[in-house]
Amino acid sequence: MEEQAYRASRLLRALGSPVRYSIVKELENRKMTPGELSASLRRKVSTISDHLQVLRSLDIVRYEGRSGKVLYWLKYGDILGILNTAEKCVSKMKLETSALR
């Protein structure tokens, strides 16, 4: 498998996790700390941190320590296009499935 296809498949696999998907959506509009993400998504901070590590390893999010806090943000806004396209596809599939019943 060529390198680009392999990396794209890893990206999609990472976004296949509901928690990581939600983290990316939360980071759409602003930088957030793991604690803020934890409160927003109602998950343990340790769980959020584990998922952020995966997103960092794939270069999806960036982070910076400031005043004792770590802020995370999306490195590329294009990631949101992938999520929006997936959501549109799901909506179409749902409509087509409903029409078949």
* Tokens at 13, concatenated: 């696999």
- pLDDT tens sequence across 3-58: 999 999 999 999 999 999 999 999 999 999 999 999 999 999 999 999 999 999 99
- Dist CA 4 CA 92 (whole Å): 28
Exposure pattern of 34-67 as b/e (b: 16+ CB <10 Å)? bebbbeebebeeeebeebbebbeebebbebeeee
pTM over 0.85: yes
> Coil, strand, or helix at residue 43?
coil
For residue 93, the model assigns a pLDDT of 82
| All domains in the chain, ordered by first residue | 3-100 (1.10.10.10)
For residue 24, the model assigns a pLDDT of 97
